[in-house]
Structure 1
Amino acid sequence: MRRTAPPRPLTAVLALGLALGALTACDTGDTRPPHPPGGLTAQAGSATSVHVMWESAAPADGVTGYQVFQAGRLVRELPADKTMVDVTGLAPQTAYDFTVRARDAAGNRSALSAPARATTPAARAEDHRAPTAPPATTGRAEGPRAVRLEWAAATDDTGVSAYDVLQGGIRIHTTGPGERATTLTGLQPGTAYSFTVRARDGADNSSPDGPAVAVTTPPDPAQGPGTAPGAFTATASPGTVDLAWTPPDTGRPTSEYQLYVNDRPVTVIQFGSGAVPAGRASYRLTTTEPAGTLWTLKLRARLPDGNWGAFGEERRITLPG
């Protein structure tokens, strides 16, 4: 498998970005604070933790980070791409108030958000039994950037305390124990997503994932044709994985694709000038991973403007022996 060159260290990139942002802000005399974060919610995940979430800032605000407060005390600082956090080390059966504020590159800080309150449940001593998985999940698109999910209740000997929604194996949302549905926003138009739901109890035991549900958001007419590769397939054989897809309509032949395995970029697939696929494209990976390894694969194309397009459908495979 050919891999791309390693990226620059994230800490160095962030430090450089913050420094350049600060210089630019100083040069322009930026004294205008960002807007306070909106949509703040807090949900107890266990007897000693609370999951806090909020909406991303508008790009025009130039936000570089967030500060999370509990009862006026700073408990976490996060970069701009993080809009959720688990606050741990809390006491059972206790109400907690949280607020968040945004910070830009010039050091301007927003006003605090509206507060959100959560009450941790009682601790359950010696509880090592996880809840059952939610037995069913359904989903539907609600426009180009939103999906509505619904699931059936899980069971637990001490009671479910929260439900976690995962996309591509990563938790993106948490709801309360009495909720059986949620609307996820901020998604990409014309993109296929796979979601699962798992349950947690007051001792922070997590269930297995419930059944996955696939939902594809419709294209946004304002953005023109979809940019995601279509009809993506992945077929595993001993030592190889064969990929195939339909190139997106980008206005010109698409010669470069980025492949992700288990939500990490692993290679860039490039076709030479005389081999750019006009119809169905294909590519073969070689692998020495052991039999039984689970892979989730997704693909996106390099657009004519140099940016990466939307991801196509995710595919899950188990490598054979």
Structure 2
Amino acid sequence: MSLQQECEPPLVSVIIPTYNRSEYLKLAIASAVKQTYQNIEIIISDNCSPENPQALVESFGDSRIRFWRHQQNVGMLANQQHGFKMAQGKYVASLHDDDIWNEDFLTKLVPLLEANSELVIAFCDQYIINASGKINKIGTEENTRAYKRDKLAKGIHQSFYKIGLIDKSIPTAASCVIRNNFIDWHTIPSEVGGMWDLYLTYLCCISGGSAYYYPERLTQYRAHEQTDTMLSGSRDVQAKIRKAKSEMFCYQVFMEDPRLQHFKTYFQRKWLEANTTLGIGLLRSEQIAAARPYFWQVLNQQKFDVRTIAALTLSFTPRVVASKLMKIPK
């Protein structure tokens, strides 16, 4: 091996799953290309966008970019996983097609992993930006506090179940770097769906490795009308149904894991909440008979829950009357 090869920093695979967001995608790719940490491959996995982004990708003229386009829409999770399965790097990092990295994101996180072989993940804080890319200062501070990163100590956390799965402090989807060989990307079940980032955090937690928190905002998470939480109407209902099913699957897995028994009560509560959310989603989509078993499931175990009782009562109320009487909490 030559001296140059010995001194060369390890390869990092940057995964950018995308679907029909060419303007945002351009900014995301640019933020990856401009990383001060240069030894990277940029894998762009397109989920059969109506507007093929291949020309946009090729316009960067960067040999580090690898582009893959599915011939049909395979779903968000499969598209995401495909990018990770293509990764050749020692480390992997996910970049959403509508988010942005600071130029020193990889430069500041990768050396932390290199310095300690027991680390499975290094993560940072993030800015919240709006559709036009302007930083939402209030939203940013609220986000940091909501996920308790304002109270999280800088440095190594050897057992991070609570940080990752309870406080959800680790923004696995877009603000971390993961040691690639700790995760088997082929075994993530399809039922994980839109909760893939929480499940990925779970896989990191049970890997036996440690986590490192770098308390600086090195990424920009975009909150805009195309995100699931900003959808409206029937699309909103379907998004909530999908999310609830994914939550139920994940929390069921967590409840059954003997390594997580200390947190079983919390996971059970979240699983029951997801049951109610799914029932409400089905109720709103006029699938009344399908909704009721989820409400009964909750009441059989939790006995009294105002949200669930209200939803179950509404399911027996004539639809014309029900729409005027009450609005079910989301």
Q: Which has the higher helix share?
A: 2
TM-score (norm 1): 0.29
- Higher-Rg member (1/2): 1
Q: Structure 2 length normalisation: TM-score? A: 0.28
